[in-house]
Amino acid sequence: MTAPTKKPPVETQADLSAEIAKIEADSEGRNVRQPLLDYPPYRSSILRHPTKDPRHADPETIELWSPCFGHSDVDPLEADLTIAGSNEPIGERITVSGRVLDGEGRPVRNQLVEIWQSNSAGRYIHKHEQHPAPLDPNFTGVGRCLTDDEGRYRFQTIKPGPYPWGNHINAWRPAHIHFSLFGRAFTQRLITQMYFPSDPLFALDPIYQSITSQQARDALVATYDHDLSTPGYSMGYSWDIVLTGPSRTWTEPEEGDL
Amino acid sequence: MSTPAKNSQSPTPGQTIGPFFGYALPYEGDADLVPPGSPGSIRLHGWVYDGAGNPIPDALIEIWQTDAEGNVPQAEGSLHRDGWTFTGWGRAATDLNGHYTFSTVLPGASEKGKAPSAAPSFGVTVFARGLLDKLHTRIYLPEHAANAGDPLLVSLSEDERATLVATADATGLRFDIHLQGDRETTFLTYR
């Protein structure tokens, strides 16, 4: 079997949507919160998913802790993606904010959040991304911040655009922002994608649909939050993130808090 | 030791890292937990493969480990390395040959381990285009005396165990990761 991404796709969206619908029907009633790693409609997953179930392990001490990031690691200006160039980036200016929580609803404090995204035309600054949409010299699409004592993060950016990809004929990704998160323990490490409300591409997208529970998929969609909108300046979206997995005993205040 | 995992909040699902993280997540010094070639340093490296045995050029590997004495590092500075502070965490994207490389030290055994008989290991997370969620695994040290009593290693078949133990080479350790196939790496979930 050769790598499926190296051949031009022959399947249409209708073919893909039929595959998506069948898997969703087959998994109905099973409350699977995480994406299926074996999800053939996402063609690149075919040779890149483990075939064996993961082994259950008791976490080692080191796995119950997370790496520590601090003010020497992240400049507060890195949370504003609109100031990279000498001019304003093109697009709809947005604020994205929310809280990072553990499985019991407690804030994940002083922890690193990294994001990356396309520009408003759906183009990433990446040499392998060559579709004919413009780059924006005033937008790199990369940001970082540390959560505060309430677990809150906040980014100033522009709304990313949908973009085409090679999974099948006429494949388009819904607009999204990639998020990389660290929890209170290494077991809680997460990389995911935040989407925008009511995107018409949701039903067509095999990456989003690899999560077969609608309720779980909804957890990746931000909410328009008018209280986060800044008059005359930007639109607000709020999105909370829950990181589960075993961790150390909770202490208040947490060790290492400044 | 660990909090009872009541998990009243539903976890946020993962999604693939996708193809375009290369300009966002890697950074200068990301894979150098200690300066390469410094006293006591080792190279920890390997190749990441798909189920057809092809190398994966768009994977991201992260490690998290104790220092040489077995202490859990809690120093900041992973994103701006000063060359002196051991933060215990590093990140390496694979190159066009599917190869990753870290410069680090051998982890010491943790005295305060949840499992007191646990052998020293590197904690590992694996991300890649085509991989819809993170994977966890561990890298154990070759021919370490404590391996014989490690609760995870003893629970595995010989073939599975072999996928988690690095091999020694001239500059340190080699550890290949197979996402699929006959030599599929043993991946972990935590209870």
B89 domain residue, yes or no: yes
**A258 falls in which pLDDT band (50, 70, 90)?**
very low
Lowest-confidence segment of A124-133, B42-51, B134-143 by average pLDDT: A124-133
Structural domain contains residue B171: yes
Residue B107 reports pLDDT greater than 90: yes
| Any domain includes B92 | yes
A186, B123: Cβ pair inside 8 Å? Answer: yes
Instruction: Compute the average pLDDT of residues A181-193.
Output: 97
Q: What is the pLDDT of residues A222-253, one digit of tens each?
A: 999 999 999 999 999 999 999 999 988 766 55
B126 touches chain A (CB under 8 A): no
The overall pTM is greater than 0.90: yes
Active site residue A124: yes
Q: Which pLDDT value is given to residue B2? A: 42
pLDDT at B116 over 90: no
Number of CB pairs, chain A paired with chain B, less than 8 A apart: 276
Q: What is the pLDDT of residue A6?
A: 59
Q: What percent of chain B has pLDDT over 70?
A: 92
Q: What is the CATH number of the domain that holds B159?
A: 2.60.130.10
Q: Which domain holds residue B58?
A: 41-178
In the sheet where A55-57 sits, what is the strand order? A55-57, B188-190, B135-140, B121-128, B59-64, B89-93
pLDDT > 70: what percent of chain A? Answer: 94
Distance from CA of B130 to the nearest CA of A (A): 4
Whether residue B79 and residue A73 make contact (CB cut-off 8 A), yes or no, is yes
Interface test with A, best of B56, B82, B132 (most A CBs within 10 A): B132
- The pLDDT value given to residue A2: 44
**Residues of chain B contacting A3 with CB distance shorter than 8 Å:** 50, 52, 54
Task: Indicate the number of domains in chain B.
Answer: 1
Tell me the shortest Cα–Cα distance from B31 to chain A, in angstroms: 14
Separation between Cα atoms, residue A111 and residue A149, nearest integer Å: 10
Q: Beta-carbon neighbour count of residue A30 at 10 Å?
A: 8
B55, pLDDT greater than 80: yes
pLDDT above 70: residue B52: yes
Q: What is the pLDDT of residue B3?
A: 44
Which one from A39, A124, A153, A208 is the annotated catalytic residue?
A124
User: What whole-number distance in Å separates Cα of residue A41 and Cα of residue B132?
Assistant: 12
Contact B118 A241 (CB under 8 A): no
Q: What average pLDDT is seen over chain A?
A: 92
pLDDT of residue B109: 81
B71 in contact with A at a CB cutoff of 8 Å? no
B137 in any annotated domain: yes
Position B76 in a domain: yes
Look at residue B27 and tell me if it is in a domain. Answer: no
Residue B189 covered by a domain: no
Give the pLDDT score at A251.
60
Is B142 domain-assigned? Answer: yes
Per-residue confidence (pLDDT) for residue A130, from 0 to 100: 75
pLDDT in tens, A60-116: 999 999 999 999 999 999 999 999 889 999 999 999 999 999 999 999 999 999 999
Give yes or no: A184 in active site: no
- State residue A252's pLDDT score: 57
pLDDT at residue B85 tops 60: yes
Cα separation, B77 vs B33, in Å, equals: 10
pLDDT of residue B112: 53
Contact A155, A97 (CB under 8 A): yes
Is A237 considered catalytic here? no
Q: Is B185 on the interface with A (CB under 8 A)?
A: yes
**Six-digit token pair at A32?**
């699977």
Asked if A215 and B10 come within 8 Å (Cβ–Cβ), the reply is yes
* Residue linked to tokens 């998913």: A49
User: Could you report the predicted ipTM of this complex, rounded to two decimals?
Assistant: 0.94
Q: Is B42 on the interface with A (CB under 8 A)?
A: no
